[in-house]
Amino acid sequence: MATASTPALPSRPLVLADLVPAVRARDVGLVALGVLFTALLAQVSIPVPGSPVPITGQTLAVVLTAASLGPVRGLAVDLAYLAVGLVGVPVFADQTGGVHVVFGATGGYIVGFIPAAYLMGLAARRGMDRTPWKSLPLFAAGQAVIFAVGVPWLAVAAHLNAQQALEAGFYPFILGGIVKAAVAAAVLGGAWAVVRRK
C-alpha cells in the first residue's frame, strides 16, 4: 500500500520513466536530463570525409530518451534541446550552437529529432521497446525519420542534388545507424528484462 512517503508506482508502466515516482518535478527533471544526455552524446563526433555531417551520438540519445520517456516527454526533450542550441548554448556536435547551426547543412537532422522522438515514444508506449528483437526495427525506423528530414535539408542548405545529398548525408551513416539501433535495443531490452524480474 502506498503511503505519503512512498508514492504508488503504476501497476503496468507504459514507458521506463513511469517507474519513477510521480513527484511534481519529475517530468521537468527527466526532460532536463534528456537534454543533458543528448548534449553529451552530441560531443561524440567523428568527421566524415567529403561531408559536412559528422557521425555523432545524438541519434542514439534521441532513440533512448524517446523510448524511455514516451511521446510527450521525449518530444519535450528534443524541442528543449533545439531551443537551447538555437540561443547559442554549445549543445550541438563539436560544442557548437546558434541559429547558423540549425539553419545550416546539419540543422535538418536536429529538426528531424522532433518527429522521430514523438513517433518512437508512441511506439514505446505500445510496448514495442520491450525486447531487443522488437525494438531494433523500431529504432532503425526512428533514425530513418531523422534522415528523411536531414537529407533534403542538407541538399537545400548545401546546394546539392539528390544523389550528392545521399552520398554526403545518408550512405555513410547507414552502418552507424544500425549499430546505434542495436545498442539502444540491447540497453532498453535489458532494462525491461530487469523490471520484469522485480
Q: Which residues of 65-98 are buried (b: 16+ CB within 10 A; e: fewer)?
A: bbbbbbbebbbbbbbbbbebbbeebbbbbeebbe
Q: H helices of 87-131, where? A: 99-102, 107-125
Assign domain 21-197 one CATH number from 3.40.50.300, 1.10.15.40, 1.10.1760.20, 1.10.10.10.
1.10.1760.20
Whole-angstrom Cα distance, residue 9 to residue 126? 19
User: What phi and psi values does residue 51 have, to the nearest 5 degrees?
Assistant: -130, 140
User: Which pLDDT belongs to residue 18?
Assistant: 74
**Mean pLDDT in runs of 10 for the chain (198 residues)?**
49 70 78 97 94 94 95 96 97 96 96 97 92 91 96 97 97 95 93 83
* Residue 85: predicted pLDDT: 97
Instruction: Find cell 515516482 and name the residue.
Output: 21
pTM of the model: 0.85
- Amino acid 196: pLDDT: 80
Q: Return the domain boundaries, the chain.
A: 21-197
pLDDT score, position 2: 47
